[in-house]
Amino acid sequence: MLGWVTLMWVLTAIDGGTPRCFPGMADQPLVCEYGIEPRDPGELRDIFPAAFLHFGYDHLIANSVPLLVFGFIAALRGIGRFLGVCLIIITISGLGVWLTSAPGSITAGASGVVFGLFGYLLVRGFVERNALDITVGIVVFLLYGSILWGVLPTASGVSWQGHLFGLIGGVLAAFWLRRTPTTPGGRGRRWGGGRGWGGPRGLQGPPPGHPG
């Protein structure tokens, strides 16, 4: 996560810290070139780079700390799974922005990922019925729950669409990438449909008349 945040700071520094977008101008800042412009098929490829670019240091600072915190907590369950979660969040958030943002706008920033990881951490424990992750979700909500106001169109110049669809992406990722329940012995639990001697419930045991 430190590497991710550092990359965002480097890209913002390359853009000069206070980028301005001017349509038709050559050598645009990265955030203008790779930000998401709605409903242009050619802009679909910018869904992923846009999540790493920001409109200046104030924008970047607002996203850096929550991304670092949420990302670190989410990644503790495994890097591969974490990358899958982020891929789902960025895709759904970016597509939502592309479909619903105002004409002529350019959207970029990691806030969609921040809201997505927030949503993922909130529901993961309940989806997987894991007491520790439920506790983590409750603590995250108590500390950062106020960010949920960001999914409402209350502030000009802020992509509430990216926030809302990022949150949806995080919740969906918790369901799509959930882990199956395991027994104390570590094997996945099978519910019904078994073919043991006990009949359809899958109970195991010796056949009738066999010395157990």
Supply the pLDDT for residue 185.
53
What whole-number distance in Å separates Cα of residue 23 and Cα of residue 15? Answer: 16
Contact between 179 and 171 (Cβ < 8 Å)? no
- Evaluate whether 73 touches 146 at the Cβ level (below 8 Å): no
The mean pLDDT of 21-36, rounded to a whole number, is 87
- With a cut of 80, say whether residue 123 has pLDDT above it: yes
Q: How high is the pLDDT of residue 181?
A: 60
Q: In the structure, what pLDDT confidence band is assigned to residue 201 with cuts at 50, 70 and 90?
A: very low
| Residue-wise pLDDT tens digits, 37-82 | 999 999 999 999 999 999 999 999 999 999 999 999 999 999 999 9
For the chain, list the domains and their CATH numbers: 1-19+26-177 (1.20.1540.10)
**Predicted local distance difference test score (pLDDT) of residue 184:** 53
Segment (H or E) for 109: none
> Is the model's pLDDT at 97 over the cut of 50?
yes
The confidence score (pLDDT) of residue 200 equals 46
Looking at residue 182, its pLDDT comes to: 54
Q: Residue 40, by phi and psi: left (phi above 0), alpha (psi -120 to 50) or beta? A: beta
Mean pLDDT along residues 159-171: 97
Question: Given a cut of 70, is residue 197 above it in pLDDT?
Answer: no
Lowest mean pLDDT among 15-29, 37-51, 129-143, 153-167: 15-29
Distance CA 31, CA 17 (A): 11
Burial (CB < 10 A; 0-12, 13-18, 19+), residue 178, is middle
> pLDDT class for 139, splitting at 50, 70, 90?
very high
Mean of the pLDDT values across residues 124-150?
A: 96
Percent of the chain residues past pLDDT 90, beyond the cut:
75
pLDDT band at 157 (very low <50, low <70, confident <90, very high): confident
